[in-house]
Amino acid sequence: MLQLERLRFGLILRGSVVAFRAMSDATEGPRYKLARERGRDSFSKRMTSTPIDLRSDTVTQPTTSMRQAIANAAVGDDVIETDPSVERLQDLCAEMLGMESAIFMPSGTMTNQIAIRIHCQPGDEFICESGCHIYNYEQAAFAQLSGVSARTVDGEFGVLHVDQLRDLIRPDNEHLVRTRLVCLENTHNRGAGRIQPYESVLEICEWAKENGLRRHLDGARLFNAAVATGIDLPDWAQHFDTVSVCFSKGLGAPVGSALAGPKELIKQARRARKLFGGGMRQAGIIAAGALYALEHHVDRLAEDHANAQVLADAVRQSEGLSLQPEIVDTNIVIFRVDPSMGSASQFVESMREERVLAMATAPQLIRLVTHLDVNAEQVARAGDVIKQVAALLQE
Ligand SMILES: Cc1ncc(COP(=O)(O)O)c(C=O)c1O
């Protein structure tokens, strides 16, 4: 980069970068003063533009057509009896996953926790990967609401191997909790959208079945795994007793999740949903957004995956940044900021000054997620910003 361009960029990034470098007015060098003058116009222009929001794939706005579908939705009372739009969604979801039945719920947290509820009794234990959403980000609801404990196993960026699990089933002994369930997450959120490979899903689920354990899949981003691998949804789903999917992540619907499985289990889930306060009346209003997303937004996830590769390349090209893991499977990119460049929060703040929003997920880790509301051009710009911020902080 030319020296002049570097100087101009110094102004744009002034906020946290300047704070990070402890540049008070008294100590600010002529480089920054010059850059401030040159950059004023472009800076104010950027401040009025919409930010490129890469914090999560949950930030999407409903599209115009989706809003239309929501406005026109036929609704009923899904607690007294049924709601026609909810029913259509549940049927379509079950069909797409190749499961017997499905039930609509407000959130992925609820579908996961109700799955645990119906698979386990108080005093039971489930096995899961230590970075998974169920264990880390759902307030241990399995313990609070269902009297169930968790046994965690460290995966490699969320990916487990059956050999890690073989010795974990507790013997039948009144001193011990009963091992009852295995939960997998695919793709893995904290593992940077990594796909639990099909072969290992198969091995883990076969082992679990042979040993009398139930299997639940947190498939909040299962659609991403299916699109990225070309392995169909029913192929993934068939190895599990229950599968939870989310409509408000990559699919871009405003609200909702579904739990799919055999009719008998889904009947139990409906009872538990009422207990957990998830009975919703004219739920067709939100189900219509989810239906629209299922019908229109699955295949396009490939675009998000391609966009994530552009961000990954930007990270690879930046000294001091490293991908965690090196390979990006789907729509989530996590990278580490070398401590010599400051913290992840400082890096995120510098990106924010450039109207690119990212999330610091640990003191040195930053997460970027591509989705329906960021196009290739915006992603290219975000990549440039990453490279520029990194170059500036390297100086
Ligand atoms: C893998 C995974 N499972 C479950 C959830 C929970 O979904 P919700 O926010 O709808 O409760 C999330 C949310 O980000 C997630 O990433």
- Residues 25 and 72 reside in one and the same domain: no
Confidence (pTM): 0.89
Domain check: are 79 and 147 in the same one?
Answer: yes
Omega before residue 50 within 30° of 0, cis: no
Distance 252 CA to ligand 1 centre (A): 13
Whether residues 168 and 270 share a domain: the answer is yes
Say if 200 falls within a structural domain.
Answer: yes
Q: CB of 133 closer than 6 A to ligand 1? A: yes
| CA 363 to centroid of ligand 1, rounded, Å | 22
pLDDT at 161: 98
Q: How far is the CA of 327 from the centre of ligand 1 (A)?
A: 22
Residue 163: Cβ-neighbour burial (10 angstroms; 0-12, 13-18, 19+): exposed
Q: What is the pLDDT of residue 48?
A: 54
Q: Is 380 domain-assigned?
A: yes
If asked whether residues 211 and 290 sit together in one domain, one would say yes
Last residue of a domain, one of 231, 261, 296: 296
Q: How far is the CA of 108 from the centre of ligand 1 (A)?
A: 5
Would residue 59 count as lying in a domain?
Answer: no
From 341, 251, 258, select the one nearest 293 (Cα to Cα). 251
370 lines ligand 1 (CB under 6 A): no
Task: Say if 57 falls within a structural domain.
Answer: no
Give the ligand 1 atom nearest the CA of 187: 1
Q: Are 284 and 330 in contact (CB under 8 A)?
A: no
What amino acid occupies position 246?
C
Q: Is the CB of 129 under 6 A from ligand 1?
A: no
Q: Which distant-in-sequence residues (6+ apart) come within 8 Å of 244 by Cβ?
A: 108, 111, 112, 115, 216, 217, 218, 219, 220, 257, 258, 259, 260
Domain boundary among 260, 279, 296: 296
> Which atom of ligand 1 is nearest to 221's Cα?
1
pLDDT at position 2 is 36
Tell whether ligand 1 has an atom less than 6 A from the beta carbon of residue 185: yes
Residue found by looking up tokens 């119906």 in the block: 118
CB distance 46 to 352 below 8 Å: no
CATH number, residue 175 = 3.40.640.10
Residue 385 belongs to a domain: yes
Query: Quick one: residue 197, left, alpha or beta (phi over 0 = left, psi -120 to 50 = alpha)?
Result: beta
- Kindly state whether residues 183 and 273 are assigned to the same domain: yes
In a domain, 120, yes or no: yes
Specify if 257 maps to a domain: yes
What is the whole-number distance in angstroms between the Cα of residue 3 and the centre of ligand 1? Answer: 44
β 321-323/332-337 pair status: antiparallel
**109 C-beta closer than 6 A to ligand 1:** yes
Place of tokens 């893995």: 188
Residues 318 and 197 in one domain: no
One domain for residues 158 and 257? yes
| DSSP designation for 15 | I
Residues 256, 366: Cα–Cα separation, whole Å: 26
Q: For ligand 1, is residue 343 a contact (CB within 6 Å)?
A: no
Nearest to 86, CA basis, from 276, 234, 258, 262: 258
- The reply to whether 73 falls in a domain is yes
**CATH number for position 385:** 3.90.1150.10
Say yes or no: 162 and 184 in one domain.
yes
CB of 224 closer than 6 angstroms to any ligand 1 atom: no
Last residue of a domain, one of 262, 296, 330: 296
Cα 110 from chain centroid (whole Å): 16
Q: Are 181 and 124 in contact (CB under 8 A)?
A: yes
218 lines ligand 1 (CB under 6 A): yes
Residues near 357 by Cβ (< 8 Å), separated by ≥ 6?
Answer: 51, 52, 53, 54, 55, 348, 351
Same domain, 193 and 118: yes
Does residue 111 share a domain with residue 208?
yes
Choose one of 246, 255, 371 to mutate for the ligand 1 pocket test, by most ligand atoms within 8 angstroms of C-beta.
Answer: 246
- Whole-number Å distance, alpha carbon 109 to ligand 1 midpoint, is 6
Same domain, 84 and 209: yes
**Domain match, 280 and 307 both:** no
Domain interval for residue 358: 3-49+300-394
pLDDT along the chain (395 residues), means of 10: 38 36 32 36 54 98 98 97 97 98 98 98 98 98 98 98 97 97 98 98 98 98 98 98 98 98 98 98 98 98 98 98 98 98 97 98 98 98 98 90
Map 327-394 to HEC letters: CCCCCEEEEEECHHHCCHHHHHHHHHHCCEECEEEECCEEEEECCCCCCHHHHHHHHHHHHHHHHHHH
If one counts the domains in the chain, the total is 2
Structure tokens at 192: 């940077």
